[in-house]
Structure 1
Amino acid sequence: MDESPLDTAEAAPHASAVDSVAVVGAGSIGIAWAIVFACAGRRVQMQEVDPARREIALGEAKSKLHELEAGGLLREPIATVLSRISVSGSLEEAVAGVGYVQECIIENLEAKQELFARLDALTPRDVVLASSTSTIMASRFASDLAGRDRCIVVHPANPPYFLRVAEIVPAPFTSESTVSTTSELLASSGLAPILLKQEIEGFVFNRLQGALLREAYCLVRDEIVTPVELDTLVREGLGLRWSLIGPFTTSELNTRGGLRRHGEVLGPVYARIGIERAQEDPWTPETIEQVARAVENSLPHRSWEDNVRERDRGMIQLSSLLKHFENPLTYHRTD
């Protein structure tokens, strides 16, 4: 098999000039970010205001690293990775000398406004200030800052040491250098940076997730399917397939004639379903053409048949890996 993203992150030298980062907040996301950056060879200075969480932060990181090591996902000894992580109660101490700050505090606008004002005052102007927020745009918490041009949202899939992708969401005032520094840092840490062209509430990850959840709740409410059956359908069907190729490539390879034919056949059906849910957003020919060209250019072969064969080979390999995996979360409790 190919190397895992964590392996790749550890094997590659830094493509980013940032060699040390601060992680503000030692909750689950903060610890996950610390693991990502430390596994990529960077020094990580964590800050946590809660003494109880400070006390257990390194232990939680060590526990996660043991799980990663057991799965063959670490290149270095756990002690080596942990030696790069420190935890402090002082924000001033945590941000001293770093080139990048990743905020991971509660999802509260006022709290983020207060923290980013402090970060802006404490750090040099070339230090990127990034938020892990899932919903709050940078223009809402950083617009009044003198150094607002270095503020940005970096929203990870959770947890980022498994789901190796993060959304980069600049505000209208965010500088190009901030975007490029952030992209280089993520890429050299083994994450795929997804740059959004403009701010949008919920970003892309949560909008996609929300669209599926909205329909899922409606289907359960209308007694079409049970919650457990719906989870099973996504886990064993859509989710398994999307883990390899995603929804656009799925549509391209499911229908002979690709996305253009798929849009002709199923576009009207999805449009009627949308109207049924009071959401009238039909796929336009222009958008279908834009997506089709992009997907075609991303695939390895010119021939539709050859790409379908590659998909099938990939699904066979994935199924082979999962053949002996017993998922503990699919067992039903007897109590």
Structure 2
Amino acid sequence: MNREKIGIIGSGLIGRSWSMLFAAADFDVEMYDIDEKQLQGAMAEVRTQLAELERLGLLRGKLSAEQQFSNIRTTSEFEDCVRGAFYVQECVPENIELKNAVHTRADAVMSDTCILASSTSALLPSRLAADIKHKNRFIVAHPTNPPFYAPLVELVPSPWTDSDVVPSTKALMEKIGQVPVVLKKEIEGFVLNRIQYSIMREGWGLIKDGIVDVDGIDKVMSAGLGRRYAFMGPFETAHLNADGMKNYADRYATMIEGVMSTLKSNDRFGGPVLEQIRTELEARIPLCDLQERRQWRDRRLAALTQLNQRIDAEDAK
């Protein structure tokens, strides 16, 4: 597949990230945006990020930062982005009318074998592809944010997706160094956000009931569960915390079922609880410091990547 063309629709954070990932694997990447100034800013940010990744020794693939940068070109002509691509990744804002309009435009230009993928975080592929001719070539490829440091990609086919689309997209994701997880059927919010929102719902209820504050919830995750979940999921964690999963259930099932019966119910995502959470977060991280804090986050994710790579190399010996 090397030097085949990848089309990226949208040059925001997700579009830029996808472009970097495909460029690192030596694909010919064409990134589209309606605004030429937006494209210029996106490319300046891509160059900066690639240089920093090269400095940290975290570049994907075998190409230099400059070689990867040269694999990306931009266009403000939509048809030029899609025409001739074997894979197109749509990265426009999470608005179903906008996405459907983009998919309709792509549908008119793409080849019959091209795969059209959406980066949507929660919209069902059957809704996104319902009215296009190439609905059989459509799939959701939902990345984790930030995609470069958190490599999970959820692959969600629609009921009409051709049988070759899922394995082909999975192979492509693996080729560029991402970690694909295939959903057997579509569901609202997919898997990552359903788990993420479940955690937020319980944290929300605990804050609402005055049991713990926002900082406490975040520390439970960052200094507790998150330390384990950086390397393994909840079921492997349970498997290792006893003599296997069966033994874990024998020991803790009654306790788990009892706690589960008290978990918080759905609540409106607003009102005084939201105001409390917002106030506490902004006291700790003012809005003017968000970009600096994102850079703080990315440095730690980069360091975690380096640690995983080093330990994986040691384990392979």
Normalising by structure 2, what TM-score?
0.80
Residue 187 in structure 1 maps to residue 153 in structure 2: no
- In the TM superposition, residue 26 of structure 1 has moved relative to its aligned partner by 0.3
Matched, 1:49 2:34: yes
Q: Which residue of structure 1 lines up, in the alignment, with residue 189 of structure 2?
A: 202
Matches within 5 A, 1:105-254: 105-254=92-241
Aligned partners of 1:18 and 1:100 also within 8 Å: no
Moved over 4 A (4+): none
CA distances 1:265-306 after superposition (whole Å, capped 9, x unpaired): 333333233322366xxxxxxxxxxxxxxxxxxxxxxxxxxx
- Provide the rounded CA distance (Å) in 1 between the counterparts of 2:193 and 2:252: 24
In structure 1, how many angstroms separate the alpha carbons of the residues matched to 2:70 and 2:223?
A: 39
Residue 244 (structure 2) aligned to one of 258, 263, 266: 258
Which residue of structure 2 aligns with residue 313 of structure 1? none
**Judging changes above 3 Å, is the alpha-carbon distance between structure 1 residues 187 and 321 closer, same or farther for their aligned structure 2 residues?**
closer
Once the two structures are overlaid, the 10-residue window that deviates more, 261-270 or 83-92, is: 261-270
Of 77, 80, 86, the match for 1:99: 86
1:300 is aligned to: none
Deviation sequence 1:39-71 (CA, Å, 0-9, x none): 111111000012331120110111111221122
Question: Where does the alignment leave 5 or more consecutive residues of structure 2 unmatched?
Answer: 266-303, 309-317
Q: Does 1:61 align with 2:46?
A: yes
Identity %: 36
Distance 1:232 1:23 in 2: 37
Aligned partner of 1:71 in structure 2 is: 56
Task: Identify which range, 121-130 or 159-168, moves more after superposition.
Answer: 159-168
In the aligned structure 2, how far is the partner of 1:88 from the partner of 1:219? 48
1:213, 1:222 → 2: CA distance?
14
Greater Cα offset, 84-93 or 226-235: 226-235
Q: 3-state DSSP class of the match of 1:124?
A: coil
Aligned with 1:37 (options 19, 22, 29): 22
Match for 1:211: what amino acid?
Answer: S
> 5+ residue gaps in structure 1?
1-15, 280-317, 323-335
Matches within 5 A, 1:231-310: 231-255=218-242, 257-277=243-263
Deviations 1:101-135 (A, max 9, x none): 00000101111111111111111110000000001
**What one-letter code is carried by the residue in structure 2 that aligns with 1:50?**
D
Please state whether the residue corresponding to 2:145 is helix, strand or coil. Answer: coil
Cα deviation for residue 73 of structure 1 reads 0.8
Amino acid in structure 2 at the alignment position of 1:233: V
Which SS does the other structure have where 1:101 is aligned? strand
CA contact (8 A) 1:18 1:185 kept: no
